[in-house]
Structure 1
Amino acid sequence: MRIAQAFLASALLTGAVVAQQAPMSAPGSKNPAAITGGSYTVDAGHTLVEWTVDHLGFTPYFGLFGNVTGTLMLDPKNPTAAKVDVTIPVAEVTTASAGLTKHLLKPAEAGKSADFFGAAPAPARFVSTRVAPNGQSAKIEGNLTLNGVTKPVTLDAAFYGAGKMPAQMGGKENVGFTATTSIRRSEFNIAYGIPMISDEVKLKITVAFQK
């Protein structure tokens, strides 16, 4: 009897240890059926806009914009009706070089334009005007306002994942996308250093929405 009891206790203890060590599965998946639709807001802590320029033909140099805010209206049964409106705080631009970051936000000299964004630049804003879905990808046309100039821009977007967060992490529904595009900064009156520093700026976007 004692042997049986000891065996049972050992089995229960082993099971408890295995249960504690069992890996948790990610709450998000690439299954679009997990999207319920409705009105979402940007998860600013997990959304980034990466910009890349060619630096003197030697290297691609990139920096980041974070703390993005905005909204998404999405109906999974009618994706063409989706609407995106996001705002990017240009003044919070980040690079790996303190000197470069300072230069990007350097005030304009008297009678001249700023080299890049200048001091206290206004946020950039992208507002969609048309969505053309293709499976789990889409072309998102819209207007980008940057440095006081508004130009049409098309994003190549792709669905990344969706699902509901665990209750202990807020329990909100999340949906995430990636997108890429490129712009010419001279069209937004930011022409410093061209062509030593490329006119073309490649943008890579990772955006999370919650509701």
Structure 2
Amino acid sequence: MKKRLIATLMPAALLATSFLSPSALADDYKIDTRGAHASVQFRIQHLGYSWLVGRFNTFDGKFSYDEKNPDASKVTVNIDTASVDSNHAERDKHLRSKDFLNVSKFPQATFVSSSFKELGEGKATMTGSLTLNGVTKPVTIDVDHIGAGQDPWGGYRRGFLGKTTIALKDFGINTNLGPASTNVQLELNVEGIRI
């Protein structure tokens, strides 16, 4: 009787697993913003003489990653644009205005990935849609896989570094900052806790 039951259930189990997408086998992670083990930073040249560096203090996100099928990886990040912080209160007030982020109208920026391409040796490229200042554009992010493993609290973590450069005008930010300051470099340090 037991053998007959196993023989009956086995084809059903195989059929069910054949319908699972590769991403269904991936591990899901929540970005560890609560522990401040992640950051969204930016830098832009100031007059061509130096770099102005800042960050967004409030954001959240999640990602999935399967070591056996990394190209199925996905990520979503949501950023509170009013949390912009360049270590200068008056400048931050200006960055929140209509001249730049227009946070009263567009309080959130988002990135949603559409593809992930593993290049080997811990390198990858990710493409997706960035929505900023009410404009959605495709962007490509260069990715470094920093590492993964158990943490001291019984959890499992995985971390990545992502870098990309965007043109301000592509996102409707037309304030003239000079020829050296038309692009912004973005850096995402992502550490996720497996959920």
TM-score by length of 2: 0.80
Point out 4+ residue stretches in structure 1 off by more than 6 angstroms: none
Mapped to 2, the partners of 1:142 and 1:156 lie a distance apart of 12
**How far did 1:37 drift?**
4.8
**How far did 1:200 drift?**
0.5
In 2, are the aligned partners of 1:126 and 1:145 still within 8 Å (CA)?
yes
Within-5 A mapping of 1:61-100: 61-100=52-91
In 2, are the aligned partners of 1:38 and 1:75 still within 8 Å (CA)?
yes
Does residue 1:148 correspond to 2:144, yes or no? no
**How far did 1:159 drift?**
0.6
Within-5 A mapping of 1:30-69: 37-44=26-33, 45-69=36-60
Q: Deviations over 1:92-130 (max 9, x none)?
A: 011111111111123xxxxxxx11113433211111111
**How far did 1:197 drift?**
6.2
Of 120-129 and 193-202, deviating more is: 193-202
Larger radius of gyration: 1
CA RMSD of aligned residues (A): 1.6
Q: Gapped runs of 5+ residues in structure 2?
A: 1-24
More strand by share: 2
Percent identity for Structure 1 against Structure 2 = 37
Report how many residues are paired: 166
Selected match of 2:182 from 196, 199, 202 = 199
Selected match of 1:115 from 94, 99, 103 = 99
In 1, are the aligned partners of 2:81 and 2:103 still within 8 Å (CA)?
no
TM-score by length of 1: 0.74
Corresponding position of 2:165: 182
**How far did 1:55 drift?**
0.9
Q: Gapped runs of 5+ residues in structure 1?
A: 1-35, 107-113
In 1, are the aligned partners of 2:168 and 2:182 still within 8 Å (CA)?
yes
